[in-house]
Structure 1
Amino acid sequence: MENYTVKEGKTAAIISHLWVIGLIIAFFMNNNKRNYFTSFYIRQTIGLNLFQLLNGWIIYKFLGSTAGYIVGVIIFVLWIISLIGAFKGEKKLVPVVGEQFQEWFKNV
C-alpha cells in the first residue's frame, strides 16, 4: 500500500516544487484524492516558499543583499534536497525546519 501511495503521488509531489504555480497545481491535483506523499511535499514547499518570500522582504531589506543572498542559497539547497527526495520517492524532511513545516501546515 505504501509503495502504491508513493507511486501515485510522486508526480504531484515533484510538480509542487515548481515555485508557486506548481504548488497551486499540485494542491488542486491532491484536493480530490488526498495522497499522503503529495501532502507531505506540499507542506515542505509551502514552508520553503514562505521562507523565500520572507527572505526577499525582510532579510534583503534590513540586513542587506549579501545576507539575503546567503539565505537565498541556503533555501535553494533545502529546495534541492526536498526535490531529490520527491524524485526518489522518499519522504525526506528538509533539514532543521522540515518537522516544523509538517506541524505548521498539518491541515493542508
Structure 2
Amino acid sequence: MKENKSLGILAYFTIIGTVIAMIMNTDAEKKSNFNSFHIRQALGVFLSFFLLGYFVSYADSWTATSAFYIFFFILWIYGFLAALEGKTKLIPVLGNFFQKIFKTL
C-alpha cells in the first residue's frame, strides 16, 4: 500500500491532531480511505474518552479511574499501531460503532 498514511497517524495525536487531519483530508483529490478510517477511529476514541471520563470522575474511586484510563490507552495504542503498520483494523469493542457514526468524515 503506497498511500500517504501520515494523516492517519497524526489523527491519534490529541484531539487537535484529529481536527488537523480532518481538515487536511477534505481535499477531494487527495482524500484517502485509509486516512478517513483512522480519523474516524481516533475521533471516536477521543470523544468517548472525554464523554465517559466526565461520568467516571464522579465515581471517586482510583480503581474505576485507573481501569478507565488503561482501557482507553489500550484502544489508543491499538489504533495508533494499526495506523503505523498501514492497516485498517477496527478498534476492539467500539470500532464498528465509530465507523458508523462518523461515516461522513
Same fold (TM over 0.5): yes
Distance in 1 (CA, whole Å) between partners of 2:62 and 2:91 is 24
Higher relative helix content: 1
Q: Name the Cα RMSD after superposition.
A: 1.3
Match status 1:22 vs 2:24 = no
Give how far 1:43 is off.
0.4
Aligned residue for 1:39?
36
Q: Please say which of residues 53-62 and 31-40 is displaced more in the overlay.
A: 53-62
Q: Name structure 1 gaps, 5 residues minimum.
A: none
- Once the two structures are aligned, what percentage of the paired residues are identical? 35
Between the two proteins, the alignment pairs up a number of residues equal to 103
Q: Please say which of residues 62-71 and 78-87 is displaced more in the overlay.
A: 62-71
* Counterpart secondary structure, 1:31: coil
Runs of 4 or more above 4 Å deviation = none
Give how far 1:78 is off.
0.8
Tell me the TM-score normalised to structure 1 length: 0.88
Give how far 1:65 is off.
3.8
